[in-house]
């Protein structure tokens, strides 16, 4: 197995969503190549999609309860990823509406619907939760949810959100109802980053202009993780490799705290497609985190050798898992292959 980056990985992040868990024949789609294949320095996997249904105890991961036997391999692999230094988050919500409407209610109803989600996160030891709000929710409702997660899981629990890109430039153009700028002012310290969707008509990443506008508007670059479509079959706005590489290289050089990229989604990521979906993470590592895999070994130290200064990388290391960033929103409705039915993201 190739050497892995430390768990407290510096920026930029490389994040992949994992919603399609099985192929057409029902066989599990493994994510272990993300740690066994060479040249990959992935930082986070976001497991999708958790849904809150009408009966509070009948939460689902896609279409089945998280304890369903079909997920035995999945949960085992999530533990292996975590043991290898990759943080694993769950994703709550998505295109299937209802989860946040049920949470955005009076205290009694909130407790009934929040409790099973909290218990599932604890049972499986997830490192965080991505709030993918694609329905109307009040600002007070999302603040209450963030406060409760922080209270229940402590300061190291990763809370992200998933706005569409336009929501960070114009509060009227979003799928969530609340104003993300107001949320950042009120609870930015608890939001690790925003998985910002630059696709499906909500953003454009064929050039750096939209990202630059966000930074000029005041968004910290370390809190904007650029959301990308990993395959044209997954939605509109796919950016081919040549222009994508140029834009990422430009922004990586322009902003020392560039937040990173996320891909929707893992199972058919280009350039490898369904046969080799981990190649997307390898290409992103080359562009953004290759230096972590090519650092020279430290020379031997003896009594006559003056200890060398700590490397700049370690001095400037940024822990992307500390509270204070933002999450990204899942795209508008679109058609693509998944092992779940159309009630999902």
The rounded percent of the chain whose pLDDT value lies above 70 is 82
Whole-number pLDDT of residue 10? 77
The reported pLDDT for the residue numbered 327 is 46
Closest CA to 135 of 169, 94, 79, 185: 94
What's the CATH fold of domain 13-294+308-315?
Answer: TIM Barrel (3.20.20)
Q: What values do phi and psi take at 120, rounded to 5?
A: -65, -40
pTM of this prediction?
0.84
Encode pLDDT of 42-84 as tens digits: 999 999 999 999 999 999 999 999 999 999 999 999 999 999 9
**Tens-place pLDDT, residues 291-329:** 777 655 445 545 444 444 444 334 444 344 445 444 444
Q: What is the mean pLDDT of the chain?
A: 87
pLDDT attached to residue 122 = 98
What are the residue ranges spanned by the domains of the chain? 13-294+308-315
pLDDT of residue 273: 98
**Kind plus residue range of the DSSP H or E element containing 150:** helix 139-153
Strand segments (E) across 246-319: 260-264
Confirm if 192 and 225 have CB atoms less than 8 A apart: no
Residue 333: both structure tokens together: 């409705």
Residue 290: strand pairing partners: none
Strands 60-61, 87-93: pairing kind:
unpaired
Backbone phi and psi for residue 18, each to the nearest 5 degrees, phi listed first: -130, 95
pLDDT at 5: 43
As to burial, measured by CB atoms within 10 angstroms (0-12 exposed, 13-18 middle, 19+ buried), residue 218 is: exposed
Residue in the structure block whose two tokens are 């499906």: 200
What percentage of the chain exceeds 90 in pLDDT?
79
Kindly state the average pLDDT of the residues 74-102: 96
Q: Angle at which helices 180-187 and 139-153 pack, to 10 degrees?
A: 40
Going through 8-157 in order, the beta strands assigned E by DSSP cover 13-18, 44-51, 60-61, 87-93, 128-132
- C-alpha to C-alpha distance for 137 and 140, rounded to whole angstroms: 8
pLDDT digits (tens, 9 = 90+) for 176-206: 999 999 999 999 999 999 999 999 999 999 9
The Cα 37–Cα 278 span in angstroms is 8
Tokens of 144: 């209450």
Please write the tens of the pLDDT for every residue from 259-291.
999 999 999 999 999 999 999 999 999 999 987
Q: What tokens appear for 115 in the block?
A: 């409790």
Rounded-to-integer distance, Cα 159 and Cα 150, Å: 8
Confidence of residue 114 (pLDDT cuts 50, 70, 90): very high
């Amino acid at each position: 197995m190739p050497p892995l980056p430390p768990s407290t990985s510096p920026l930029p992040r490389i994040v992949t969503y994992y919603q399609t868990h099985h192929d057409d024949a029902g066989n599990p789609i493994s994510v272990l190549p993300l740690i066994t294949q060479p040249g990959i320095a992935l930082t986070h996997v976001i497991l999708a999609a958790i849904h809150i249904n009408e009966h509070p105890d009948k939460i689902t991961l896609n279409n089945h309860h998280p304890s369903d036997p079909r997920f035995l391999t999945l949960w085992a692999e999530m533990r292996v990823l975590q043991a290898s230094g990759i943080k694993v988050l769950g994703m709550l919500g998505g295109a299937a509406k209802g989860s946040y409407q049920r949470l955005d209610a009076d205290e009694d109803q909130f407790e009934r619907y929040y409790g099973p989600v909290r218990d599932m996160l604890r049972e499986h030891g997830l490192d965080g939760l991505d709030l993918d709000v694609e329905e109307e929710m009040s600002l007070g409702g999302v603040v209450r949810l963030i406060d409760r997660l922080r209270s229940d899981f402590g300061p190291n629990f990763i809370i992200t959100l998933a706005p569409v890109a336009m929501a960070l430039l114009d509060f009227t153009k979003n799928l969530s109802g609340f104003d993300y700028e107001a949320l950042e002012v009120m609870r930015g310290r608890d939001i690790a980053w925003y998985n910002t969707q630059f696709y499906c008509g909500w953003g454009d990443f064929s050039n750096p202009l939209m990202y630059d506008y966000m930074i000029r508007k005041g968004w910290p670059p370390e809190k904007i993780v650029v959301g990308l479509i990993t395959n044209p079959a997954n939605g509109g706005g796919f950016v081919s490799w040549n222009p994508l590489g140029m834009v990422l290289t430009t922004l990586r050089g322009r902003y020392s705290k560039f937040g990173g990229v996320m891909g929707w989604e893992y199972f058919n990521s280009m350039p490898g497609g369904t046969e080799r979906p981990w190649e997307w993470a390898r290409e992103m590592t080359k562009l953004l985190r290759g230096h972590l895999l090519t650092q020279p070994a430290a020379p031997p130290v003896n009594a006559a050798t003056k200890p060398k200064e700590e490397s700049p990388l370690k001095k400037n290391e940024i822990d992307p898992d500390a509270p204070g960033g933002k999450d990204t929103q899942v795209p508008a409705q679109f058609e693509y292959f998944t092992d779940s039915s159309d009630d999902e993201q």
